[in-house]
């Protein structure tokens, strides 16, 4: 027993002090997935064919005059009921011009993401209206300060690769001010790629002016746009959200990346069979891709087919269901069929607290999406109650979970070295009969294994002797410690002051070196 514990201590000492903070060399952003394929190859072709039939024969309702003129000039048509039709030949022709191979940029180049092929990245998203305190179980309205704190947590936690707006700043009443402050809080809180959404093109233009100032001018912004605007441009089934079409137009005009989102609920606003839900959402996203590429060929736009799941017993959204993970994996396959970077949603647990239900629902939906090679997995950190609530300490917990998902997705490297024949022979014929002290074991501790920061791997006796501390309390303590660190300083005092003179920024900005929580 003494030798065993002594050996364990030596192995811990041999490991770098930062082990567990992630990512180690065992994981990294952009690991390739693609091993899980819920749709068979002939099924992909059938869904594609059905999506094109939907666009050509059913079409989209409530297109704006500019959208109608643009699409009909390219070969589209309009039915007697006013539905805009997208002929198969036109869709395939325009899709050939769609943006591929683009990056999502951070304010710092080390945070740039490459969402090509089956490379995976996980981050946040949502529009939660509540904050859950896991200690007191209090549920309260979310605020602008909460949003900024979450951006800071995303900045500090290495397995969260991008930060899209997580909560609604309900302490701001005016929509224009709320959306401007949301955009700025995201950009101020993290230098990683950010995302948000807008309800009007004018607010979006004002926010992009803020981004110009941060980037160093319009040309610098167009070269490295660090915000991807999410637009739910469809009201399923097959109806354009008219104001959102102006967001697409603004993005095409300003060089702003887009996440084109269609989010029907299977059994409610899209068909109950999962294949039909994927086909409808694929058709809807293709309509958006056609429009933005007619406006600006090659525009960076993410394939955001997001069929959500309804609990058909009640009609309630079931974001943590196994079907949700399967649907996201299927949509990743469709995006790969078109060669367009995709955005999916996973981690949207139906649980209201960081508990057992949250753990298994987050784990299964995120892992299925990652194994399928979904390029950008949103809602992967912090979300509860089917996107109605968020938790700050869950960022810390989910950072561990995401690291494990990334490591599982990486798989196993098979080489002459990793097969370890010579090491096996040496240990068994000349060595101690175990591999604990082997040089290869020490050398591979970081390259092959991921060490979660908080997960408790002590024996029950060791845990009890130490006081039986609770994982959630550890997460709360870690969250408090992160928010007590100096605020990020990637936006200079001078630019911050310039933006505050030009726009009604409501977020207090403490002196650098002072925490904001």
Residue 53 lies in a domain: no
Contact by Cβ (8 Å): 375, 150: no
At residue 24, the pLDDT reads 81
| Average pLDDT, integer, range 388-398 | 96
At residue 20, the pLDDT reads 44
At residue 302, the pLDDT reads 98
| Average pLDDT, integer, range 427-434 | 94
Three-point CA angle 62, 68, 69, nearest 5° = 155
Residue 54 lies in a domain: no
> From CA 258, how far away is CA 422, in angstroms rounded?
52
Alpha-carbon Rg for the chain in angstroms: 24
pLDDT exceeds cutoff 90 at 510: no
At residue 81, the pLDDT reads 97
* Residues 221-240: tens digit of each pLDDT: 999 999 999 999 999 999 99
Write the Ramachandran bin of 357: left for phi over 0, alpha for psi from -120 to 50, otherwise beta: alpha
**Do 300 and 434 fall within a single domain?**
no
- From residue 315, give the alpha-carbon distance in Å to each of 159, 265, 269, 309, 318: 34, 9, 11, 9, 9
Q: Which two tokens stand for residue 70?
A: 């643009």
Q: Which of 188-197, 228-237, 317-326, 463-472 has the lowest mean pLDDT?
A: 463-472
Residue 73 lies in a domain: no
Total tally of structural domains belonging to the chain: 2
Residue 475 lies in a domain: no
* Max intra-chain CA distance, the chain: 85
Percent of the chain with pLDDT over 90: 88
Residue 515 lies in a domain: no
| Average pLDDT, integer, range 504-513 | 77
Residue 412 lies in a domain: no
At residue 135, the pLDDT reads 83
| End position of a domain, from candidates 344, 365, 400 | 400
- Where do we find the tokens 């299927």? 330
Residues of the domain holding 228: 109-400
Task: Find how far residue 77's CA is from the centre of its chain.
Answer: 36
Residue 406 lies in a domain: no
pLDDT exceeds cutoff 70 at 369: yes
pLDDT exceeds cutoff 50 at 6: no
**Do 235 and 317 fall within a single domain?**
yes
**Do 291 and 428 fall within a single domain?**
no
At residue 19, the pLDDT reads 41
Instruction: Using the CB atoms, write b or e for 15-27: b if 16+ within 10 Å.
Output: beeebbbbbbebb
**Do 245 and 218 fall within a single domain?**
yes
pTM assigned to the model: 0.94
At residue 14, the pLDDT reads 43
**Do 248 and 389 fall within a single domain?**
yes
**Do 393 and 425 fall within a single domain?**
no
pLDDT exceeds cutoff 70 at 12: no
Q: Which of 39-43, 244-248, 461-465, 491-495 has the lowest mean pLDDT?
A: 461-465
**Do 381 and 427 fall within a single domain?**
no
pLDDT exceeds cutoff 70 at 10: no
> From CA 305, how far away is CA 402, in angstroms rounded?
22
**Do 326 and 436 fall within a single domain?**
no
* Residues 293-332: tens digit of each pLDDT: 999 999 999 999 999 998 888 888 899 999 999 999 999 9
Q: Which two tokens stand for residue 248?
A: 């697409």
Q: Which two tokens stand for residue 35?
A: 């091993």
Contact by Cβ (8 Å): 98, 340: yes
**Do 244 and 278 fall within a single domain?**
yes
**Do 396 and 437 fall within a single domain?**
no
> From CA 431, how far away is CA 263, in angstroms rounded?
59
**Do 15 and 123 fall within a single domain?**
no
Q: Bigger pLDDT: 3 or 389?
A: 389
Q: Indicate the pLDDT class of residue 25, thresholds 50, 70 and 90.
A: confident
Q: How high does pLDDT run on average in the chain?
A: 93
| End position of a domain, from candidates 333, 368, 400 | 400
Residue 51 lies in a domain: no
**Do 232 and 194 fall within a single domain?**
yes
Task: Identify the sign of the CA torsion 55, 60, 66, 68.
Answer: positive
Q: Which of 133-137, 143-147, 204-208, 252-256 has the lowest mean pLDDT?
A: 133-137
> From CA 516, how far away is CA 10, in angstroms rounded?
39
At residue 310, the pLDDT reads 85
| CATH code of the domain in which 133 resides | 3.20.20.480
């Amino acid at each position: 027993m003494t030798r065993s514990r002594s050996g364990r201590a030596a192995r811990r000492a041999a490991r770098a002090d930062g082990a567990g903070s992630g990512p180690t060399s065992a994981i990294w952003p952009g690991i390739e997935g693609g091993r899980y394929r819920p749709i068979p190859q002939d099924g992909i072709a059938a869904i594609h064919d059905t999506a094109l039939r939907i666009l050509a024969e059913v079409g989209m309702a409530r297109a704006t005059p500019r959208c109608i003129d643009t699409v009909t000039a390219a070969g589209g048509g309009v039915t007697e009921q006013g539905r805009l039709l997208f002929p198969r030949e036109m869709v395939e022709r325009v899709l050939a011009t769609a943006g591929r191979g683009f990056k999502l940029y951070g304010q710092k180049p080390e945070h740039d993401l490459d969402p090509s092929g089956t490379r995976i990245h996980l981050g946040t998203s949502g529009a939660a209206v509540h904050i859950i305190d896991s200690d007191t179980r209090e549920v309260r309205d979310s605020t602008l300060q909460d949003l900024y704190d979450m951006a800071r947590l995303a900045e500090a936690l290495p397995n969260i690769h991008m930060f899209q707006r997580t909560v609604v700043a309900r302490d701001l009443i005016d929509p224009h001010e709320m959306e401007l402050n949301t955009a700025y809080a995201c950009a101020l809180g993290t230098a990683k790629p950010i995302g948000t959404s807008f309800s009007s093109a004018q607010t979006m233009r004002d926010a992009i002016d803020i981004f110009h100032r941060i980037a160093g001018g319009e040309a610098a912004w167009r070269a490295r746009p660090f915000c991807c605007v999410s637009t739910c441009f469809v009201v399923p089934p097959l109806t354009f959200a008219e104001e959102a079409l102006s967001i697409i137009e603004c993005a095409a005009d300003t060089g702003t990346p887009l996440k084109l989102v269609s989010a029907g609920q299977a059994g409610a606003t899209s068909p109950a069979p999962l294949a039909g839900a994927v086909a409808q959402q694929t058709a809807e996203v293709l309509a958006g891709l056609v429009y933005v590429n007619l406006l600006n060929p090659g525009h960076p736009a993410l394939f955001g087919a997001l069929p959500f799941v309804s609990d058909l017993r009640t009609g309630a959204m079931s974001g943590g269901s196994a079907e949700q993970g399967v649907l996201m994996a299927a949509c990743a396959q469709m995006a790969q069929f078109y060669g367009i970077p995709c955005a999916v949603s996973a981690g949207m647990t139906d649980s209201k607290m960081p508990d057992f239900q949250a753990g298994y629902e987050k784990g299964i939906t995120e892992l299925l999406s990652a194994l399928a090679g979904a390029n950008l997995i949103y809602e992967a950190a912090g979300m509860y109650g089917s996107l109605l609530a968020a938790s700050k300490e869950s960022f810390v917990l989910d950072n561990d979970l995401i690291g494990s998902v990334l490591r599982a997705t990486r798989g196993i490297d098979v080489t002459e070295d990793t097969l370890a024949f010579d090491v096996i022979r040496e240990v068994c014929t000349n060595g101690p009969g175990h591999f604990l002290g082997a040089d290869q074991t020490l050398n591979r501790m970081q390259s092959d294994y991921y060490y979660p920061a908080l997960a408790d791997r002590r024996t029950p006796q060791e845990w009890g002797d130490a006081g039986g501390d609770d994982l959630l309390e550890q997460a709360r303590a870690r969250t408090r410690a992160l928010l007590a660190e100096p605020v990020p300083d990637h936006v200079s005092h001078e630019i911050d002051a310039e933006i505050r003179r030009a726009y009604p920024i409501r977020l207090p900005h403490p002196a650098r070196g002072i925490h904001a929580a």
